[in-house]
Amino acid sequence: MKGLEKFEPETYYHIVNHAIGDENLFRNDDNYRYFLRRYANYMPSVCGTLAYCLMPNHIHFLIKTHNEETLTKHPKYHNDFHKLIMQQLSNLLNSYAKAYNKKYNRRGALWIDYTKRFQINSDHYLTRAINYIHQNPIKHGFTRNIDDWVYSSYQSISSNKPTLLSRNEVVGWFGDIKEYISFHSDHTAELLEEWEY
């Protein structure tokens, strides 16, 4: 089923999740930063991250799962790659929801029941997915300039600051940093309309 592909080793995926109803996931800068700290706590053990964008009511991540040898050595691995990665994702989302509910004196679920994951199986799709994720704030009318949205990986990849992102892989994918910036600026309107978020 589209959007519910199983996780496999050494594979690229576009991951999307959304708040329930009209709720926002992030109300201020502290919320965004806290979520990224939780992400850094749970996800690097199972995947590398090439791109992300945190929007007020939904999230996008482009990951590449680790190879089979690395995943089988994970302390929580029990002969099922998909289950391991889903568990790490679930732990991430649940830990954020618990902290969010406590902070805002709120109860109940924060995220929709399932995290969508789209397996990326072509070079063209990977390039478009990186662009789509970074262009998301423009698509949804939060900014007119890709540089203005600080809650995405676009600026981190463009800079020389330390990062947990797979920066070299992304820059190398486009050729160099100049080509990376140029591609994003030349393809602002190239947003995949068939994607829900």
Reported as a single tens digit per residue, the pLDDT across 149-182 is: 999 999 999 988 889 999 999 999 999 999 999 9
What is the structure's pLDDT at 114? 87
Residue 196, pLDDT score:
53
- Which spans in 7-48 are helix H? 29-42
- Residue 189 scores a pLDDT above 80: no
Q: How many CB atoms lie within 10 A of CB 88?
A: 21
pLDDT tens across 99-115, in order? 999 999 999 999 998 89
Provide φ and ψ at 64, rounded to 5°.
-125, 115
pLDDT in tens, 50-77: 999 999 999 999 999 999 999 999 999 9
Residues contacting residue 51 through CB under 8 Å, at least 6 positions apart: 60, 61, 62, 129, 130, 133, 134, 152, 153, 154, 157, 165, 170
Cα dist. 34→4, 30, 167 in Å?
A: 27, 6, 21
Is the predicted pLDDT of residue 194 greater than 60, yes or no? no
Does domain 12-186 sit in CATH 3.20.20.105? no
Q: How confident is the model at residue 186 (pLDDT cuts 50, 70, 90)?
A: confident
Who's near 109: CB < 8 A, 6+ residues apart? 20, 97
pLDDT at 191: 55
Contact 17, 111 (CB under 8 A): yes
pLDDT at residue 63 in the model? 98
The DSSP symbol for 27 reads: S
* 78, 1 Cβ separation under 8 angstroms: no
The yes-or-no verdict on residue 143 having pLDDT over 70 is: yes
pTM: 0.93
Given a cut of 90, whether residue 193 has pLDDT beyond it is: no
For the chain, the domains span 12-186
Q: What is residue 30's predicted lDDT score, i.e. its pLDDT?
A: 97
pLDDT (tens digit, 9 = 90+) per residue, 7-32?
Answer: 999 999 999 999 999 999 999 999 99
**pLDDT at 190 (0 to 100):** 57
Q: Indicate if the pLDDT at residue 131 is higher than 70.
A: yes
